[in-house]
Structure 1
């Protein structure tokens, strides 16, 4: 269980999120959507303990997240940040293996279980063939899938993903979203920040719509992804029609954003 209770999150003394409360449904595939600079990634950073609230608290599995040692948090949740930098000269296999670091200590060194976790993570993300290569040599899309593999190697019950489909072509985007849905169906709780509303509508079980550091709506895709709500959140004239594959909502833009939105 992961929740925020009246949190305020700031950068350089400027409040981005103020007095926000939210509870991530256990076992859900939750997607956070909203326009640029609305606080989506800031909220995710707060939920992951990368950013400490100046007010309020984050609760993980019944305890304030700051009460856990860092390694214990990493055994409970895996985080894919928006920007990640690999050490120079590291191979894909070694980077993914770093996902097993939270499980290591003086009494428990590298084991067969760790090796298997790395193999499964590479296989799930289609990066097994990249294992011996240097991360520096990879394309942006390949590198993104390798970072996802590292997070999967942690084998946590909770995954926080900040724009996980960045740099990926449409085929790899769908492949990765299908992987996340499979992981969710196998019991993992997933929280992702996405820009693609139609990916959110198709794959999420719970959507949180944000604007200006506030939550405007949350709930199942059919309740949140409506034409009026999309225009309220994004300033985008649109119609919402049934997805011909899933029957869920599908957003079709009608034209340019409204003048009010364009001036933001």
Structure 2
């Protein structure tokens, strides 16, 4: 309540914005500037061939890599003006590659997600422990809680990393290939978890290689082309057959299954085209 007795306006939920953003990728043209905003409840998929800059984009949005031009804003504030602890409380990043061979258990590693909220010598609170236990349960890790991370498989380590982000409880999730190393059951479980978190107000952006995961689970996509061009928008508007074939330089077929499009590479009886340039895949 304010001093006049009226209800104070609710604080605007954090979101991430790219304004005139060009990525700094050595040896590659900058292309056009990117403009997009991650709103609460949205799930964005970043699609593109290898080496196009998907990981660089996430690192730039997290403030770990400086852009060539433009800026990133978190909740309306330039990222460069915010302290790292403030960013870490609102933005979580799942790395594609992790240095997780140090001697720590699964529980100890997942609890690191609470570090942005703790002072140097502060012990974890009951709330921190409850968040840890909830994350372990959500990622099917309870039976592995006391295991050293160094003894886990690649898929188990991936779930530990995701549980750490869940324990961190940020408003914005940046996930670099969240289904990497996961078996089919855990892929589906992780994507369902991400969808639930988005419905609870999180804003999510994740790099994916699977078109069908993006089509089924994402509300928006960002297509990154090798020439630096970028297309952003709702899945049903951006994921056209022509745009995707040009993106991957691959002929595709599309069908509907359970209410979502399913994309499959076309098997050509004739020899594949010898011209793999971008212009060869442009549709009228």
- TM normalised by structure 2 equals 0.85
- The answer (yes or no) to whether the contact 1:208–1:215 under 8 Å persists in 2 is no
Name which of 214, 233, 241 aligns with 2:255.
241
User: C-alpha displacement at 1:16, in angstroms?
Assistant: 6.2
User: C-alpha displacement at 1:221, in angstroms?
Assistant: 1.8
Name which of 44, 68, 79 aligns with 1:65.
79
More displaced 10-residue stretch of structure 1: 107-116 or 60-69: 107-116
> Larger Rg: 1 or 2?
2
Name which of 81, 89, 93 aligns with 2:95.
81
User: C-alpha displacement at 1:240, in angstroms?
Assistant: 1.7
| 1:22 and 2:22 matched | no
SS at match of 2:102: coil
Does the C-alpha gap of structure 1 residues 72 and 17 become closer, same or farther in structure 2, counting only changes over 3 Å? farther
User: C-alpha displacement at 1:248, in angstroms?
Assistant: 2.5
The 2-side partners of 1:197 and 1:179 are apart by 19
Q: Per residue, is there more strand in 1 or in 2?
A: 1
| 1:212 and 2:226 matched | yes
The 2-side partners of 1:258 and 1:211 are apart by 19
The 2-side partners of 1:172 and 1:43 are apart by 26
Name which of 258, 264, 273 aligns with 1:252.
264
Superposed CA RMSD in Å reads: 2.0
Does the C-alpha gap of structure 1 residues 49 and 213 become closer, same or farther in structure 2, counting only changes over 3 Å? farther
Does the C-alpha gap of structure 1 residues 106 and 172 become closer, same or farther in structure 2, counting only changes over 3 Å? closer
The 2-side partners of 1:262 and 1:7 are apart by 25
Number of the residue aligned with 1:41: 55
- The answer (yes or no) to whether the contact 2:34–2:230 under 8 Å persists in 1 is no
- The answer (yes or no) to whether the contact 1:5–1:57 under 8 Å persists in 2 is yes
The 2-side partners of 1:15 and 1:7 are apart by 15
The 2-side partners of 1:111 and 1:37 are apart by 42
Number of the residue aligned with 2:172: 158
Number of the residue aligned with 1:188: 202
Does the C-alpha gap of structure 1 residues 54 and 226 become closer, same or farther in structure 2, counting only changes over 3 Å? closer
SS at match of 1:167: coil
Number of the residue aligned with 1:92: 106
User: C-alpha displacement at 1:128, in angstroms?
Assistant: 1.2
User: C-alpha displacement at 1:225, in angstroms?
Assistant: 2.0
- The answer (yes or no) to whether the contact 2:23–2:68 under 8 Å persists in 1 is yes
The 1-side partners of 2:72 and 2:31 are apart by 14
The 2-side partners of 1:216 and 1:59 are apart by 19
SS at match of 2:23: strand
Number of the residue aligned with 2:7: none
SS at match of 1:191: strand
For residues 147-194 of structure 1, give each alpha carbon's deviation from its aligned partner in whole angstroms, at most 9, with x where no partner exists. Answer: 000111101111000001111112211111111111111111111000
User: C-alpha displacement at 1:213, in angstroms?
Assistant: 5.8
More displaced 10-residue stretch of structure 1: 172-181 or 21-30: 21-30
In structure 1, the gaps of 5 or more residues are none
Does the C-alpha gap of structure 1 residues 110 and 235 become closer, same or farther in structure 2, counting only changes over 3 Å? same
Does the C-alpha gap of structure 1 residues 80 and 239 become closer, same or farther in structure 2, counting only changes over 3 Å? same
SS at match of 1:115: helix
User: C-alpha displacement at 1:54, in angstroms?
Assistant: 3.5
The 1-side partners of 2:88 and 2:60 are apart by 14
For residues 108-146 of structure 1, give each alpha carbon's deviation from its aligned partner in whole angstroms, at most 9, with x where no partner exists. Answer: 542111111111111111111111000000000000000
